[in-house]
Homo-oligomer: A and B are copies of this chain.
Amino acid sequence: MLASIPQLGAQEFPPVSGTRLEQNLFALAEFGKKANGESNRVAFSDADIAGRKYVIGLMEDAGLEVHIDFAGNIIGRKKGSGPEMKPIAFGSHIDMVPDGGNYDGIAGSLAAIEVVKTLGENNILTLHPLEVLVFANEEGGVMGSRALAGTLRPEALEVKNSTGFTMAEGIDRIGGNSSRVQEVARQKGSLAAFLELHIEQGAILEQTATNIGVVEGIVGIEWWDVEVTGNANHAGTTPMKIRQDALLAASRFVISVNDIALANEGDHVATVGRISAEPGAPNVIPGRVLLSLEIRDLSTEKMMLLFNQIEQASKQIATASGTSFNFSPIDATGAPALTDEAIRKIITEQAHSLGLTTRLMQSGAGHDAQEMASLAPAGMIFVPSKGGISHSPREFTSAADMANGANVLLHTLMAIDSKWE
């Protein structure tokens, strides 16, 4: 597909405006901003809906023709000047985890729009049609990109996020059509390429003073709902020795997940992020605890090995405490995905031509690019995250770092546009 690697100099295209990019990011952060100055814009919330409207405005201003597909993805299109060609797609997401930060997904979405705005301001037309994608509900299991990849299962539509809305209800709230979600699935090979800029969400670029991360692959993610069942009883009249305390067993489980992750070699991670105890009163011994379990690695086999060890540990805890454990796999997860080697090479060369340093790295976070990689050759550009902080209000990436990433995105896009079919 790739004819030859273009050797375009930095001088051939005007740079994006880092100032404008950051200003747009600050403006978007106003949607969902709480009294403490932090933003909360979980998918399907009123703040999400308001923020999406703002972003649609930016897209239209950049010269994109915008519509919302049945899955709630915001899609902005611009025609190409060449003969009929497949579109080059690029973008990210603007929804947040609960009490998340203003850069995860957002920096990449606004960089994509900034690239189109810059091209338009300089009257540069691409040969390929362009498609800017702002994916819906990325944080709830890359929902929008799964819909495009045709991997969103109907059962997932019944899963509620922290807003209390199911995916189906949420899709309808944000302008999609939950009963027609399956129709948005794209054909494999229908896009020329997919590119995503994203903050690193780790500290490797910062610690190695590197400008640009060139993503080799995105780890797979497996989720389970874990249910611990004990015996709810009166906290005052039930002696310590005869309790079947589901929270005590769940606590031993949380520790064993951590111990097992540490005991195995590798870059995998295992996390319990959600917990609730029932009935949940200070004067009642918990009879049932619900937890989430998430495991990530570039290898599916490694994830299963870890899970088997964790499941084994839970059996020992159950036996010792008179409780039982039940694991339900949740289909809101992603398989490991590799990026396209040719695109990695283009990103690296374009970054170097702009005088930027690069580093090949894996992504510990799931991304929409993971799903899009099944439709088209995909590439990901990482920019540094201060302190490696992510999914937190303290996320930060400088305007200069975002501009570097957006310039690499622009040059990569133009290189692909000029040389690919």
Residues of A within 8 A of B (CB): 97-100, 104, 139, 162, 200-202, 219, 221, 223, 231-241, 245, 247-248, 250-255, 258, 261-262, 267, 269-287, 289, 292-294, 296, 330, 363-366, 388-392
Contact = CB atoms under 8 A, between A and B. Distances in A.
A237 B271 CA distance: 11
B279 A284 contact: no
B237 A248 contact: no
Contact of A238 (B98, B202, B223, B363): B202
Nearest to A204: B237
Nearest to A284: B391
B162 A390 contact: no
14 contacts: A97-B281, A98-B279, A202-B238, A219-B236, A233-B390, A234-B364, A235-B391, A236-B363, A237-B365, A240-B262, A247-B273, A273-B285, A275-B289, A284-B391
Contacts of A247: 254, 272-273, 275
A419 to B, nearest CB: 33
A282 to B, nearest CB: 4
Contact of A292 (B100, B252, B282, B293): B282
A202 B236 CA distance: 9
Contacts of A202: 234, 237-238
A272 B277 CA distance: 10
Contacts of A238: 202, 269, 364, 388, 390
A270 B248 CA distance: 12
B269 A273 contact: no
Contacts of A200: 237
Nearest to A254: B251
Nearest to A287: B392
Nearest to A330: B282
A221 to B, nearest CB: 7
Given A97-B281, A251-B254, 17 more contacts: A98-B279, A98-B280, A139-B283, A231-B392, A233-B389, A235-B296, A240-B262, A240-B270, A247-B273, A251-B255, A274-B282, A275-B275, A275-B280, A282-B292, A282-B330, A283-B366, A285-B391
